[in-house]
Amino acid sequence: MLEPRDTFESREFYVKAEANIRRNNYGDALKLLEQALKISPENPVYLSTMGLCESMLGDPEKGEKMCRAALQIAGHERDPMLYVNLGRVVLEMGQRGKAREYFTRAYRMDNTNSPAALELSRMGVRKRPVIPFLGRNNPLNKYIGKLRHQLMEKRAGGLKK
């Protein structure tokens, strides 16, 4: 059983790790999170944040596994940050659709969750498919959508000059 000072110590490591993450210093954050997990090995937020660091350091597959393991550890008492971290990892892997799902899930769990709201606003609003009755991933919709985007950029560029 963990003593209160152990919980305090692990939290202290975690807070320092978060500060390093905000400065994009993922290597140092990872070391601090390892220390926090030694004290509190069943803390899903620490594991999830460690997964984010692994992803940002170039191993997104390992990061995703860690984030998913954190969700399993959390069970039904899931913290929205678990989904935010998983969303950031899959976004790093280029899976924008899945990332949006995870950010939205975190935001729905707690609509005061500013990291989820921030990530959703960074992603921006998706335009409707050009041909609505075809799926968003349909090659025709993708191609015409890219053309529409290029035309809109040219039109906006011409207006700025």
First vs last C-alpha separation in the chain: 67
Instruction: Assign domain 4-125 to its CATH superfamily.
Output: Tetratricopeptide repeat domain (1.25.40.10)
Helix, strand, coil percentages for the chain (3-state, nearest 5)? 75, 0, 25
The string of pLDDT tens digits covering residues 87-106 is 999 999 999 999 999 999 99
The pLDDT of residue 67 is above 70? yes
Mean pLDDT of the chain: 88
Top-confidence residue, 148 or 86:
86
The string of pLDDT tens digits covering residues 31-60 is 999 999 999 988 999 999 999 999 999 999
> Are the C-beta atoms of residues 51 and 63 closer than 8 Å to each other?
yes
The Cα diameter of the chain in Å comes to 67
Exposed, middle or buried by CB within 10 Å (0-12, 13-18, 19+), for 159? exposed
Task: Indicate the SS3 state at residue 110.
Answer: coil
pTM above 0.85, yes or no: no
The string of pLDDT tens digits covering residues 75-90 is 877 899 999 999 999 9
Which pLDDT belongs to residue 114? 86
What whole-number distance in Å separates Cα of residue 160 and Cα of residue 156? 6
**What tokens were used for 5?**
């000072």
The pLDDT of residue 1 is above 50? no
The string of pLDDT tens digits covering residues 8-21 is 899 999 999 999 99
Top-confidence residue, 146 or 126:
146
Domain extent listing, the chain: 4-125, 127-161
Which residues lie below 8 Å from residue 122, measured CB to CB, with a gap of 6+?
none
What whole-number distance in Å separates Cα of residue 58 and Cα of residue 43? 23
Quote the Cα angle for 77-60-83, to 5°.
Answer: 20
What whole-number distance in Å separates Cα of residue 78 and Cα of residue 140? 39
Which pLDDT belongs to residue 159? 54
> Are the C-beta atoms of residues 32 and 20 closer than 8 Å to each other?
yes
Task: Average the pLDDT over 116-142 and give the result.
Answer: 86
The pLDDT of residue 151 is above 70? yes
